[in-house]
Amino acid sequence: MPIARSLTIARVFLRYRLNELVPADHQPLWLRTLWAPAKLLPAGAVKDMGRGERLRRALEDLGPIFVKFGQLLSTRPDLMPPDIVQELNQLQDNVPPYPADQCIARIEASLGAPVEDLFAEFEREPLASASVAQVHGARLKGESGEPGAAVVVKVLRPGIDKIIQQDLELLGVIARWIQRYLPDGRRMRPVEVVEDYRHTIEGELDLVREASNGSELKRNFANSPLLYVPEVYWDYTRENVLVLERINGIPVTDLRQLRAQNTDMALLAERGVEIFFKQVFEHNFFHADMHPGNIFVSREHPERPKYIAIDTAIVGSLTREDQYYLARNLLAMFRRDYRMVAELHVQSGWVRKDTPINAFESSIRAVCEPIFEKPLGEISFARVLISLFQTARRFDMEVQPQLVLLQKTLLNIEGLGRQLYPQLDLWKTAHPFLEGWMRERVHPKTIVGEIRRYGPEWLEKFPQFPQMAFAALEQGQELGPRLQQLSEQLAGSRQRGRTRYARMIVGGLLALGAALVASPGLLAQIPAVSWVMGAAALALLLWP
């Protein structure tokens, strides 16, 4: 463990009195001793801060990797208290850029040529700078030496992989402390959250993976009026360098510009919802990092607004079973069929098979009924889903990573949609889509498509089917005698065990009798008849 970095973290924790987040009676002696110096330091403004603000400021002081981790925690309201989530939502990943010369050196080392030979133009001043990478504008070389397409060049920060590994190691230590000493530590599952973060951040360190995700997303929305994804220039893309088409859109949070070009805000909000459900249910491949910084709106056709998505490092997908059960859960929930919701959770394996359905149904009803007393336009679809997962967690539900990504994405989409058009009724868009998807799933055309897709594989395995059937029958015939033999062996073992146990008891009684005979004074205190009868009764009860 890096000692200097550990001391820095300890100093920041002391400054913001983060030790007070753990009740004193849950702190071991060594931890109370370690935190003791904090009491001698002047509290200053910290004493007036809530726990969420203290945590946010500590993460900001610790640097970009911890800031990014705090952003991840802000997307887990199923695990974190609301006051902490609200503060962590304010974290901004604004990082000073590193020198352009270092950036250019990385590009040249990765692509094997001077920047002047690779690009007709290259902007030394970065367009954006974040914790993992920074982005520069450039222009490719066209034919006959003319400037070509405008692009952006994304370059990983030098040495960022080593910094991330060190901070991940320290985060793991902190997570284990929280899980062990915080009263709610086990429920918060901090070790699992850190592992989730590890998976996320390591995915962002491979720009080829991000490029391939972008290509898949672009293919899924080819010729679509809903979403545009920038083109990847593969000849200029490596693990630590990514070159993409440069887009000229309006940031989705710039409401002034959007209104100035007369954008249809209601349609824009509804299309955001439609994009989400298409990705999850039709394509089964969704952009899982759709925060406002990664979303733009095309300047063309404001009456039919089109989204532009960037930064595809984090994507998610569901199994076919999860897709089906999630759709049915949502439909049943909005029909207030809580019995069906409970049964679907058991059928899908999201909760244990022995979960008491009546108790589970009652808990779901208690969570959902107050929500559904409101008009549908005022209901937060994402919050309903979170409440459902929180309720299921009390019944030992293990939330899978893909469902967490889905929940996070839905929170981003719904929050964005309501910011664009506060009257957004997400269910008005979602309900017909889910109904249509469920009908399409069992449509003969879909079934024929499945047969076409998997038919060659079935045909290839079909000649082996008779042999597999005969082998299964032979195993079944052999299994009967084996089970009978095993049953007889178990019965014999139980019989022998009981016999040995009875002999042991009788032997013990005989030994006790011998001892009593050897001690006449003791023997005189016990009626001989009752002693003999008791011994005989025990022997009869235990003898086979």
Secondary structure string (H, E, C) spanning 111-157: HCCCHHHHEEEECCCCCEECCCEEEEEEEEECHHHCEEEEEEEEEEC
Closest CA to 291 of 266, 260, 323, 313: 313
d(C-alpha 229, C-alpha 254), whole Å:
20
> Would you say the C-alpha torsion 373, 379, 385, 387 has a positive or negative sign?
negative
Percent of the chain whose predicted confidence (pLDDT) is above 90: 22
Q: How far is CA 213 from CA 278, 307, 317, in A?
A: 16, 17, 12
pLDDT at 235: 93
Closest CA to 22 of 218, 220, 177, 208: 177
pLDDT in tens, 411-441: 778 778 878 888 877 777 788 888 888 888 7
Q: Which residues pair with 297 in a beta bridge?
A: 250, 307
DSSP 152-184: EEEEEPTTHHHHHHHHHHHHHHHHHHHHHHSTT
pLDDT at 77: 63
Among the ranges given (83-92, 104-113, 210-219), the one the predictor scored with the smallest mean pLDDT: 83-92
Evaluate whether 46 touches 17 at the Cβ level (below 8 Å): yes
Per DSSP bridges, beta strands 307-309 and 227-228 are parallel
Active-site residues, by number, are 289
Alpha-carbon torsion angle 182, 184, 186, 191, nearest 10 = -60
Element (H, E) at 250: strand 250-251
d(C-alpha 403, C-alpha 316), whole Å:
9
Closest CA to 98 of 90, 107, 111: 107
pLDDT in tens, 222-261: 989 999 999 999 999 999 999 999 999 999 888 999 999 9
d(C-alpha 434, C-alpha 427), whole Å:
10
